[in-house]
Amino acid sequence: MRTLLRTCGELSVTAGVAMLLFCAYLLWGTGSYTEWYQHVLKQQLQQTAKVAKLGKIHLGDAVAMIRIPRLGRDYEYAVLEGVGQEDLRRGPGHYPGTARPGKVGNFVLSGHRTTYAAPFNRIDELRRGDAIVIDAPEARYTYRVSGKQVVTPDQVDVIAPVPGRPGARPTEAVITLTTCHPEYSARERLVVYGVLSAKRDRRT
């Protein structure tokens, strides 16, 4: 009996250590992959900026840079086209078919809240009026946060051209950020909305 108990105890300790290591990998190890890929995407954006316009976008292409001053001076991520599992491991993703940066309609982005550098981990801290800056090859667009909402995963109307109003015709440029809620769970979605407030063209 003592041998059995000791064996079970050792197995439990081993399993616990393995679980801790796995959790550490998810929280920090996956970030290394994202950081490497972000470097690649940022280089791609630098090349695109030379022609001062965003051409045809393919899945996986870099679209723009996102900066959120409220989340720190160093907060910046390259946004890529696509919101598939592999896309979001590389950084925040732009929903294909939604508006382009600065255009009338809904520019929708999704990002991880934990793991893979967790680019949207702190978007719950955003307040009404906070800036969300999108640097696209042709211009810098500044959106201002207009609201936040927690929804269920099946409430896809948040990504409609007019958020929450499927079928409505858009008349303004808006941005929507989506991520999992609460942390470490995919039970709900945290959504942050913003409205375009300024545009600054690139010098050509």
Residue 4 has pLDDT above 80, yes or no: no
What is the DSSP-derived secondary structure letter of residue 183?
Answer: T
Looking at the DSSP bridge assignments, the partners of residue 147 are: 193
pTM of the model: 0.84
- Give the model's pLDDT for residue 21: 44
Query: Which entry of 67, 90, 180, 181 is annotated as an active-site residue?
Result: 180
Q: Which two tokens stand for residue 125?
A: 């801290």
CA-wise closest residue to 116 among 18, 25, 185: 25
Q: Please give the average per-residue pLDDT across 76-99, as a whole number.
A: 97
Instruction: Specify whether the CB–CB gap between 146 and 129 falls below 8 A.
Output: no
Give all domains of the chain, ordered by start, each with its CATH number.
Answer: 2-201 (2.40.260.10)
As a whole number of angstroms, the distance between CA 190 and CA 120 comes to 10
**For residue range 19-35, what is the model confidence (pLDDT) as tens digits?**
544 444 445 567 889 99
Query: 7 pLDDT band (50/70/90 cuts)?
Result: low
Residue 202 designated active-site? no
Alpha helices in 50-169 (DSSP H): 85-88
Tens of pLDDT, residues 87-97: 999 999 999 99
Burial class (CB in 10 A: 0-12, 13-18, 19+), 131: middle
User: Position of tokens 């409609």?
Assistant: 160
DSSP per residue over 112-136, as a string? -SSSTT-TTTTGGG--TT-EEEEE-
Rounded Cα distance, 161 and 177, in Å: 14
Tell me the residue length of the chain.
Answer: 204
- Reduced DSSP (H G I as helix, E B as strand, rest coil) percent helix, strand, coil of the chain, to 5: 30, 30, 40
- Is 189 known to be catalytic? yes
Per-residue pLDDT, 57: 87
State mean pLDDT over 140-166: 97
Of 90, 94, 112, 113, the catalytic one is: 112
Look up 181 and say whether it is catalytic.
no
Give whichever of 19-23, 27-31, 54-58, 142-146 has the largest mean pLDDT: 142-146
